[in-house]
Structure 1
């Protein structure tokens, strides 16, 4: 359905959300949907499909009163895509009725700073990356 992801591609204008992988996302295998995106999601637990590259994963979208999240199947997605804490993802809702998402992964590998530059705590003390 979607071309294999070899590089980051522009969004197509559909609703989307972004997240940075946390411990619960990659070790407890549960991805919480940001609250500001939840109005795009159904009010009941349903099946959702994640497309990344030429592959697809079925996940279970769970709907609770206070939060919504992906579970069952999310572990397979995270493991198959070698997700690590700090990686970023863009989830673009391609088909709201079928709950199809195109996912782009942005690796969070931090460069080796070797003590050069500042600590990044302010604009006057930036981290320098060669």
Structure 2
């Protein structure tokens, strides 16, 4: 899907190179999407994030979503707003998502998001895996 924003075209399905900033990838499970909408960030990302609740912004496809990030007591989860992001982007169990930390300061945490659907890049799929599902997930490092 290609969207035009001003004079810039953005292909939402395009996989972009990561910068030198912290990132983490994960494959979404049933609890991350309808009807539960719960998303805990993997521990790998916790080092660079605050321990308090803060505004978080997810940027994807030229759009931004405001969420609340809760870092209290090892929760490291998105609460208010995650449902809207998931629904707006039609996220489903089995989709891959990469969170790249683009800004982290006392006022705001911002992540650049990439969504990987069905056709994962070959370098992410283990050679000995016949089918990918919630019982046989892909781990994105």
TM-score past 0.5 threshold: yes
Q: How many residues align?
A: 114
C-alpha spacing 1:43/1:84, structure 2 compared with 1 (3 Å): same
Selected match of 1:108 from 103, 106, 118: 118
What SS does the aligned partner of 2:93 have?
A: coil
Equivalent residues of 1:47, 1:59 under 8 A apart: yes
Answer yes or no: is 1:127 the counterpart of 2:130.
yes
Partners of 1:51 and 1:76 lie apart in 2 by 13
Partners of 1:37 and 1:3 lie apart in 2 by 30
C-alpha spacing 1:87/1:26, structure 2 compared with 1 (3 Å): same
Instruction: Kindly indicate which of the two structures has a greater share of residues assigned to strand.
Output: 2
> 2:86: which partner in 1?
78
**Any stretches of 5+ residues in structure 2 without a counterpart?**
1-7, 121-126, 132-141
1:1-130 aligned at under 5 Å gives the runs 4=10, 5-27=12-34, 28-97=36-105, 98-108=108-118, 123=128, 127=130
**Any stretches of 5+ residues in structure 1 without a counterpart?**
111-121
TM-score normalized by structure 1? 0.79
Q: State the 4+ residue runs in structure 1 displaced beyond 4 angstroms.
A: none
